Chain A
Amino acid sequence: AQSVTQLDSQVPVFEEAPVELRCNYSSSVSVYLFWYVQYPNQGLQLLLKYLSGSTLVKGINGFEAVFNKSQTSFHLRKPSVHISDTAEYFCAVTATDSWGKLQFGAGTQVVVTP
């Protein structure tokens, strides 16, 4: 089984400042990793995913994530946030040989202020 821990429940950040959201996972098998964003009263949208290859993953809206296998982490970052980045962010993991069942973390609420 897999589990995901998002280390921060809420991250306040000023507009145009950088932000990093931390995600650690545990698994006894190989995994794929994902970051999703959820705006209020909406479904989830995929930001980026790590399947294999380069440990630096580029996503949409200027987000990127770094996969660190030795530290079992998959941290998300953005060099300069906008007000519109205010949302809930979820890290998720799935076993590579699974039917795609995602195990989500509890989420990190990002609040961007001017």
Chain B
Amino acid sequence: EAEVAQSPRYKITEKSQAVAFWCDPISGHATLYWYRQILGQGPELLVQFQDESVVDDSQLPKDRFSAERLKGVDSTLKIQPAELGDSAMYLCASSFLGTSTYEQYFGPGTRLTVT
């Protein structure tokens, strides 16, 4: 069964350092989502791509976070500089199309710890 791939699974970094996460969605899925899940909370959408275009980045802290999906396939989420409050699970999801009726498939996530 096709899965969403994410790497690394775990990342420890010092504050003020740069960190990057990678996501490879299920083949053929045009829509890609990045969520942040703080411990004890539900996931919160950071950014949504339709192919290579951003359709929603209203909750992305743009002063330090950036996301790209250059060829409309895999995607990278970057944080620079990292802050202690960025410690969280970063989840990537993909769906066939970006409408409410299509199921989002989630990857295993990257757990980030900022020290």
> Which residues does A use to contact B, with CB under 8 Å?
4, 32, 36, 41-46, 49, 51, 90, 92, 94-102, 104-107
Contacts and interface: CB of A to CB of B under 8 A. Distances in A.
Given A101-B48, A101-B56, A96 B100 contact: yes
Contacts of B55: 99
27 contacts: A32-B101, A42-B108, A43-B4, A43-B108, A43-B109, A44-B43, A44-B93, A49-B103, A92-B42, A94-B100, A98-B100, A99-B48, A99-B56, A99-B98, A100-B31, A100-B48, A100-B95, A100-B104, A102-B43, A104-B42, A104-B44, A105-B42, A106-B40, A106-B42, A107-B40, A107-B41, A107-B42
A113 B43 CA distance: 27
Contacts of A95: 100
Contacts of A94: 100
Interface size band for B? 20 to 34
Given A90-B42, A101-B45, 5 more contacts: A42-B109, A44-B93, A95-B100, A99-B55, A102-B45
B100 A106 contact: no
B30 to A, nearest CB: 11
A43 B99 contact: no
B106 interface: yes
